[in-house]
Structure 1
C-alpha cells in the first residue's frame, strides 16, 4: 500500500520528538495525540494509526547521548570533527552492519552521535605538533560498550587515526571474542587462518579493509608483524591489533614498534596517529601474583607504547568506575605509573537504551526484583563460600537443580515464541577453582541424564499420566511457580520439553584450561542455535558475553564492587524473553548488589553535578579515591601482604546508614534511650525556635533545623553502632569535626510514618517504625569470630526510604531541588542526591529511624516472621559540595585480616584457580 504524502516525515518527527524531549516512554495515547497535532503542520492527512504503528518501535527503544566531564582548561577544540570534511566510510558501514544485525535504528543513530562526541574529545589526527589525550568512558555491564568502542574505532579511522590497539581484558576467550567482533565490524574479513572469508562490513562493496596484525587464534607476535613491515611504511590503511592485557604481549608490541622506528630512522612514529582502546580499564590486573599480568608493568608498558607515537590518544572503557586507576595510585611503588593513564582530559558516561536489563532494573526496581530474583538458601553446606584445593562436593544444591529445570522450561517457552533459532544459555558461577567447576559439570550432567530420560518417557503421555513421574511433576510445579503469568499454556510447553532438554550442552569456561570452547559462532555457521550451560569462574565474571543468557546461578563470596558488578553477566538485552529471566543469588549478594547499584548510579549522577560546578576529571578521581566504600572496593586483596595503609576518606555528598542491626535487644533498648535523650535535649526552650513545622508534609516527622554540631556529635558518640559499622562511626565523627567550620549546624529529623503497630512514645511524640525486610539474617556468624553479637542486614542495605532526605525542607528548597533534577532530565524527578546538594538544604542531616524488620522470604506466610521491633537506626547525610574535605584513616593489618576472613575471596598463589 502506497504511503500518503508526509508519512515518512511525520514518523521521523515523532521518533525524534519522543527520543530527545521525553524522560520516559510515552503512552500510546500520548503518541497518537502528538501525531494528530503534527499531521496538519507536516501536511499529512492519511491514517494516523499507521503512522503511530510505524513510529512506536523507534520511540519505545531509546538511548540517550550520555554526559561528560571535561577539563575545559586544556588546549583543545571539541568541535574539530565538524570543521573539516571526513569521509565516513568505516562509520557508515558499521552502522549499516548493526542495523542488519537487528539493532534498533534509533539506538544506532544515537550511537553515531555519541561516538562523534567522544571522537571530538580526542585530538584531531591531522593536528600539528605532538600531543596526547587521556579519557575514560563509563558504560554499564553487558550494555554495548564493545559496540561503542568499535563505533569509535570506525570514526577514528575515518578521521585519520592509523594505528589502533584494542586491549580486550586478560583472558584468551575474551580476546578471541573481541577479535571476532573487530573482524565483522571494522576489518571486514575473518582472521580465522582456516577460513579467511569476507564477513560483516566486508560484504559491502568498496569497504577499505584495514591491516590486521592479530587473528582469531593468535595474539600479537613480533615476528609475524615484522613480515608485514613493508605494507606499513606509508600507512595508507589503518592498522589494528587486538591483544590481551598481558606483559609479554605488550612487550612484543613495544619492541616491534621501537625496531620499526629505528628501521625508518626516527625516534617516534610521526605519521601515524595512534588510538589505544583499553577495554575493562579497571582490570590491570588486580588480585594476582602472576608476573605476566602485573598491574604496574602492564601500565608502564602501555605508557611506553603510547610514547612511541608523537600523536596518541588513550581511552579506557569500564562499567565499574570504582577502579584501580582512580583508587590505587599509592599502593605501588611508582605513583606516577598509574597517574599517567588517569583520564585527565575527559570522562564520558554512556546511557543505556531503554531496553537494557541492568542492575537498576533488577536490584532497585522492587517489582522487577521480585519477578526476576531468587534467593539461594540451601547451598551453604554443599558449596562452601570459602574454598581451597582440598574442597570437595558430592551433590548439587536443590536450588541449582530447580534453576536448571527453570532453564529447560525457559528454552521450551522460547521455542514456542519462535526463538528456537536463537541461543539460550544458563550461567553457573559457584567457584573460582577449576577442579570444582569440573565436578559441578559432572554432577549437573548426571542430573541432566535423569531429567532427559524422564521427559522423553513421559512428555507425550496424556493428561495427568505424565505427571506421575517425579521429575515431570517437579517441572510442572516450577512452571506454575515461575511462569504462571506467561501466555504459553502448560499443554503447549510440555510438548517442547523433549526438544529443549535434548539441545542442552554443558561447558566449563575457564580460559585456556577449558576443555571445550563456548563457541556460539560455530553453531551460527551451521545454522543452529546453542543451548548452553556455562560453568565457570573468573572467565564468566569479566567481559565474556554469554549469548541468550536466561537463567543465572551465582553463589560467590566477595564484596569487591568491580568484581561483583562484573560477575553480573545476566545484565544486557533480552528481546522477547526478559520475562523468563531468573537470577539466583544468596541473600547477602542481593543486598550487596542493591548497595552497589545505588552507589554506582550515584557516582554517575555526581559526574553531572561536577559538570554544573565546573569541576574536572581530576575532581571525579578524587571523589572515587576518597569514597568511604573504598575500604571494601580497593586494595584489600591488592595489599594482602601489607602491614597497613593510610586511606584518604571523604563523605562529601554521602549518606551513611546503620543498615546492620544487632540481634541483641539490649543494644536496641540502649539506643532507644539515646533517642529519647536527644529528643528531650531538643525539646528544651533554647531549641524551640528551631523546631520546624512542615504543614504540607503528610508525615508527622519531628525536625529541628540549625542544631549545633556538638549536639549531633555527642549523640553519635552515645549511639551504639554494631561492630560491623564501628569503622564508619569513627570516620563519620571525625568528618563532622573536619567540616565543622563550614557546617557548624545540622538538621535533625525523627522519622516516623502514620500510626500503626506499637509506637515508641517519647514525651509527646509517638515515633512509629518503618517496615523493612531482611536482606540477610545471621544470628551466629560474628558471634563465632568474637567481633560482636549476631546481626541482621536490611534489604537493599538501606534504612531510609526513597526521598526521605527531603524531610525538613521548605517548599522553596524543594523547588530548587526540582530545578536541579529538571536540568539533568531525571526520569522520576528530584532524588535524594538533589536534596543533598549544598544549594538546597545547605547543612548536614541526621535522620533517626525505628525499624520493624521482617523475614519476607517465604511468600506463603500470611504474616512474615518478625525479627526486630522498634530497632533504632540512623542515617547521616552530608551535603554535596565538590570540595572533598578528607580525613586520614589508617587501615592496619589486623583490620585487613578481619575484613578478608569475613568477606573476600583471596586465593593463594599456588591454588589451581583460573585466570588470575
Structure 2
C-alpha cells in the first residue's frame, strides 16, 4: 500500500469521525457504514472500508473522564491561574491536539486530554508568578499502556505555552525506552527529527507556522559530558523552550547537573530566571534493590533533587501506573532530604482510563471477560522453571507455548480476514531474565514457525481430509476451535487465509545486548503490517510499546508491584481485535495480578474519598505506607539481616479473605458447627433477613464478630492475617460499633439441607496447591464479584452506581464501589464445594470487608524473613536481569 493510499485512508477516517462526533445519538454500525460509503465516494476511494468503520465505531464510544485530584488543602495556591491569564497563546497545545486528531484520536478523547492536562497545569505554579523562588511537587497516577506519554506530552505543550523554558523528561532506565520517548517528543512537541542523519521537520513541525522547540538530546545520544561540552550553550541562548529526554542513571544526571551549574547558574549557584519542569516517567522505577552503581536509587534520586535545587523556580511531576511508588514506601531508597524534596506534597492526580481501554478490569477482575482472555500455564516448571540459571540447558519448550504460537498464527489470519492485514500484530514471550535462555527460546520457536509455515504452504488449499492429517495443521485447527470458534469466521476461511500470515512474520530477541530492533515504523512507511514474535525480558517489560499485541506468554514470578504491572504489556487499546487477545500466565501470576488490580482500584477510591474529606497528599502517603502490600517492598529492603520489622497497617476500604483454606474434614466440621451456633443465636440476638443469595444479619456488635473470627479455625498460612483482621476490627470498634454478617447461600447450590447449614458455592481447584493440607483459591478470591452488594439498601445501591458512573466505566459497578456505599464492616461467610477430586468439600471460608474512611487508623504488624519468603515465593529479582543497560 502506497503512502498516498495510506494518507487517503487516514483522511477518510478523520472525515468520518468528525462527521459522527456531531450526532446527538450514538450511531449503529449500519449508519456508520452508510456514511463511510458516502465519504469514500467524495474522495473517489474504492478500497476496503472495514478498518475505517471499526475505527470510527471505536471513536464514537470512546470517552475519558476528568480524573480526580488530591491537593494540599493548606497551601496558598490558585489552581485557576491559567484561566486568569489572557496572554497565553496555546500554540504548542493546539498543534499537539491537531497532531493527535491526524493520528486518528477520537475528537472527544483529544478534548478530554486537553481538559485534563489543563487541570494538571493548574496544579503547577504560574511560571510568570511573582516571587524569587518557588517549587511544586506532584504525582500523576495513570494505567499501564493507557497513554501516560500522551498525557505528559500534552502537559509539556501547555507548560511551554504558559512560559516554562526548560523541560526535562526522565524516561526510565533503558536506552530503547529513552529512544522511543525521544521519537515521540520529536513528533509531538519539538517538530523536527533529532536523528543527526535526518534533521527534517516531522509531526507538529509540518505546520509552517509552528515555533518548534530546542533539544540537547537525540534519538541516538542521551545527555552526556560530550553533549554538554560541545554545545557551549546556555539556557538563555535559546528563544524557544528547551527539552531534554534522559535516562534515570547517575552518570547522565551528574553530567546534566554539572552543565547546569557551570554554564547556567549565577550567584548562590542558582538559576533564578528560568522556570523549569521535570517529568519523571515511571517515577516508581528507581530499581529498588539494585546492586548496579549507576542505577542506585539513593544516588539517582539525590541527583534529581540536586538538579531541582539549582532552579529557583521548579516543578517536579512524577508519572506512574503503580501508586506504590518509592516516594511513598521505600525508606531505604531515599534519605530524608530526598523524600522531602520528591514527595508529591502539593497534588496527586488520578487519571481515568478511556472506556475502550483494555486493562486489568477486563483481563483479571471481570469474571466473564477474564475467562475468555486468560490462560493458565501449568507445564513450564519442568522445562523452564521459575528459578533457573543462565547456563541451564533448555531441552524443549512447554507444549502450552507451542499452543500459544498456534493461537497467534490463527489470530493473525482472522485479523487479516477482518481487513487488518496492514495493522501490526505481535506476540510477546517473557520466560527468562537471561539472554542465552531468551535466544534458545527464540531458536525453538523459529524452528516450529518454519515447520508450521511449510505445513500451511503444502495444505492451505487442500481438501480438509488431506490437510487434517498434518500434525501442524491439526494444531492450528484445534487452536481455532478452542479459542476462536465464535470470532465470526469459519475454519475453512481461516485455513485459506493462513498462507498470508507468514509474508511479514519475523522473530526477535529484544534485550539491551541484542542488535535486533523491533522497528514497526519501517514497515509502516511501506504500508505493511508487521507480524512479530518478540522474545525478551526486562526490555520487553518496561515501557517499550509492542504494537498490536495479541498473544502474550509470560512465566515469571516476581511479586514486586512496579515490575509485575510493567510486565503487563498486554494492557492498552485493541480496536477491532480485543476478542482475539489471549494472555498466558502462571496461576501464581494470575492470582497476583488480580490482587494488584483490586488494590490499585481501591487506592483510586481512597483518593476520591480523601478529597471529599478534605485530606492532603501527605495523608494519602501515610495510607499507602500502611497499606498491607507496602510490606513487599519495605520488608524486602529491610530484612537482609533477617531481623523482624514492625510496620503500621491500615485495612481501610480493603477486603481480607481466607483464600488459603484448610482441607482437613475435622477442621471444617468444627467451623460449620461454629457457623450453625452463631446463626442459631442470631449473631447476638439479631433477626435474619433474606437477600438474593442467602441471609443477612444487621446491627451485629463487632465484639461478636471478633469472637466468631477468633474461634474460626484457619490454615496456619492464613492465621496471621486473621489475627490482623481481628486486631483492626477492635481498633475501629469505637467508630464502627455495629457491623453486618452475610451468610452466602445461593439458591441453586448443593447441600444446605440441615438446619442452619449453607448451600455450597462450586469453585475450581487449580493445580500446584501449596501442600497437602491447604487449598489456595483461584485469583486469591473467595467471594464472587458483586457479593458485597447483597443487603445494601436502595439508596446505597444508587450511591454505588453514582460512584461507578463518576469513574466513567459505562456504569460497571465493582465491589469497591459497593464498599464505598457501605458505611460499616461486613463479614461474609461461605461454604465452598471444590470441583474435581483433588480436594474434598465442603470447606468453610470467610471474608471481612472494611469500609472506607479509616485511612489513618492502623495496627502494628510484626513481619520477618519467613513471612517475606512466603509472600514473594521464588526470587525472580528484576535487578538480576541481564538486559539492564550498562
- The TM-score normalised by the length of structure 2 is 0.90
Tell me if the contact between 2:632 and 2:868 (Cα under 8 Å) persists in the aligned partners: no
Which residue in the other structure is 2:138 paired with? 135
Deviation at 1:287, TM superposition (A): 3.4
Tell me if the contact between 2:511 and 2:883 (Cα under 8 Å) persists in the aligned partners: no
Which residue in the other structure is 1:793 paired with? 776
Distance 1:358 1:197, change over 3 A: same
Which residue in the other structure is 1:906 paired with? 877
Which residue in the other structure is 1:476 paired with? 477
Tell me if the contact between 1:434 and 1:914 (Cα under 8 Å) persists in the aligned partners: no
Which residue in the other structure is 1:198 paired with? 201
Which residue in the other structure is 1:778 paired with? 768
Give the alignment of 1:80-119 within 5 angstroms: 80-84=81-85, 85-119=87-121
SS at match of 1:422: coil
SS at match of 1:137: strand
Deviation at 1:702, TM superposition (A): 4.2
Q: 2:728 aligns with which of 718, 735, 758?
A: 735
Q: 1:893 aligns with which of 858, 865, 885?
A: 865
Tell me if the contact between 1:852 and 1:866 (Cα under 8 Å) persists in the aligned partners: no
Q: 1:274 aligns with which of 273, 276, 291?
A: 276
Gaps of 5+ in 2: 1-15, 33-52
Distance 1:741 1:490, change over 3 A: closer
Which residue in the other structure is 2:742 paired with? 749
Deviation at 1:912, TM superposition (A): 4.5
Deviation at 1:69, TM superposition (A): 1.3
Spell out, residue by residue over 1:850-886, the C-alpha distance to the aligned partner (whole angstroms, 9 max, x if none).
112326xxxxxxxxx6844321101112222244211
1:869 lines up with 2:853 in the alignment: no
Which residue in the other structure is 2:831 paired with? 850
Q: 2:182 aligns with which of 175, 179, 183?
A: 179
Deviation at 1:14, TM superposition (A): 4.4
Spell out, residue by residue over 1:322-377, the C-alpha distance to the aligned partner (whole angstroms, 9 max, x if none).
2222122x335723422421111111111122221111111122222222222212
Spell out, residue by residue over 1:185-239, the C-alpha distance to the aligned partner (whole angstroms, 9 max, x if none).
1111111122222211111112222111111111101332343344632441111
Give the alignment of 1:617-696 within 5 angstroms: 617-632=617-632, 634-636=634-636, 639-641=639-641, 643-682=643-682, 687-688=684-685, 690-693=686-689
Give the alignment of 1:485-564 within 5 angstroms: 485-511=486-512, 513-564=513-564
Deviation at 1:167, TM superposition (A): 0.7
| Structure 2 Cα separation of the partners of residues 672 and 315 of structure 1 | 53
Distance 1:613 1:529, change over 3 A: same
| Structure 2 Cα separation of the partners of residues 497 and 10 of structure 1 | 36
| Structure 1 Cα separation of the partners of residues 483 and 334 of structure 2 | 53
Deviation at 1:445, TM superposition (A): 1.5
Which residue in the other structure is 2:601 paired with? 601
Distance 1:449 1:816, change over 3 A: closer
Which residue in the other structure is 2:227 paired with? 224
Give the alignment of 1:15-414 within 5 angstroms: 28=28, 58-84=59-85, 85-129=87-131, 130-230=133-233, 232-262=235-265, 267-328=269-330, 330-332=331-333, 334-414=335-415
Which residue in the other structure is 1:461 paired with? 462
Distance 1:388 1:255, change over 3 A: same
Greater mean deviation of Cα atoms: 500-509 or 812-821: 812-821
Spell out, residue by residue over 1:498-534, the C-alpha distance to the aligned partner (whole angstroms, 9 max, x if none).
33124221111122x1231222223334443322111
Q: 1:759 aligns with which of 752, 757, 782?
A: 752
| Structure 1 Cα separation of the partners of residues 838 and 27 of structure 2 | 41
| Structure 1 Cα separation of the partners of residues 242 and 707 of structure 2 | 65
Distance 1:727 1:906, change over 3 A: farther
| Structure 1 Cα separation of the partners of residues 232 and 629 of structure 2 | 49
Tell me if the contact between 1:771 and 1:853 (Cα under 8 Å) persists in the aligned partners: yes
Deviation at 1:284, TM superposition (A): 1.2
Deviation at 1:184, TM superposition (A): 0.8
| Structure 2 Cα separation of the partners of residues 699 and 814 of structure 1 | 16
Spell out, residue by residue over 1:82-137, the C-alpha distance to the aligned partner (whole angstroms, 9 max, x if none).
11131111111111111111211221111111111111111111111111111111
Give the alignment of 1:707-746 within 5 angstroms: 707=701, 709-746=702-739
Greater mean deviation of Cα atoms: 309-318 or 357-366: 357-366
Spell out, residue by residue over 1:434-475, the C-alpha distance to the aligned partner (whole angstroms, 9 max, x if none).
221111111111212222222223323344323322112221
Spell out, residue by residue over 1:665-717, the C-alpha distance to the aligned partner (whole angstroms, 9 max, x if none).
3332232233234334546xxx43x32435xx34441414232x333222222
SS at match of 1:693: strand
- The TM-score normalised by the length of structure 1 is 0.87
Q: 1:768 aligns with which of 759, 773, 777?
A: 759
Tell me if the contact between 2:676 and 2:757 (Cα under 8 Å) persists in the aligned partners: no
SS at match of 1:765: coil
SS at match of 2:506: strand
SS at match of 1:725: helix
Deviation at 1:844, TM superposition (A): 2.2
Distance 1:564 1:298, change over 3 A: same
Deviation at 1:567, TM superposition (A): 1.0
Distance 1:664 1:79, change over 3 A: same
| Structure 1 Cα separation of the partners of residues 671 and 55 of structure 2 | 61
| Structure 2 Cα separation of the partners of residues 378 and 894 of structure 1 | 28
Gaps of 5+ in 1: 1-6, 19-25, 33-51, 784-788, 856-864
Distance 1:528 1:747, change over 3 A: closer
| Structure 2 Cα separation of the partners of residues 841 and 499 of structure 1 | 55
Deviation at 1:641, TM superposition (A): 4.8
1:701 lines up with 2:695 in the alignment: yes
Spell out, residue by residue over 1:237-264, the C-alpha distance to the aligned partner (whole angstroms, 9 max, x if none).
11111111111111111111011234x5
Please give the root-mean-square deviation of Cα atoms over the aligned residues, in Å.
2.9
SS at match of 1:126: coil
Tell me if the contact between 2:190 and 2:215 (Cα under 8 Å) persists in the aligned partners: yes
| Structure 2 Cα separation of the partners of residues 608 and 824 of structure 1 | 10
Spell out, residue by residue over 1:714-755, the C-alpha distance to the aligned partner (whole angstroms, 9 max, x if none).
222222222332331221122223233333443333222225
Tell me if the contact between 1:135 and 1:342 (Cα under 8 Å) persists in the aligned partners: yes
Distance 1:128 1:528, change over 3 A: same
SS at match of 1:701: strand
Which residue in the other structure is 1:828 paired with? 811
Deviation at 1:834, TM superposition (A): 4.5
Tell me if the contact between 1:705 and 1:808 (Cα under 8 Å) persists in the aligned partners: no
Deviation at 1:821, TM superposition (A): 5.7
Deviation at 1:293, TM superposition (A): 0.6
Distance 1:833 1:639, change over 3 A: same
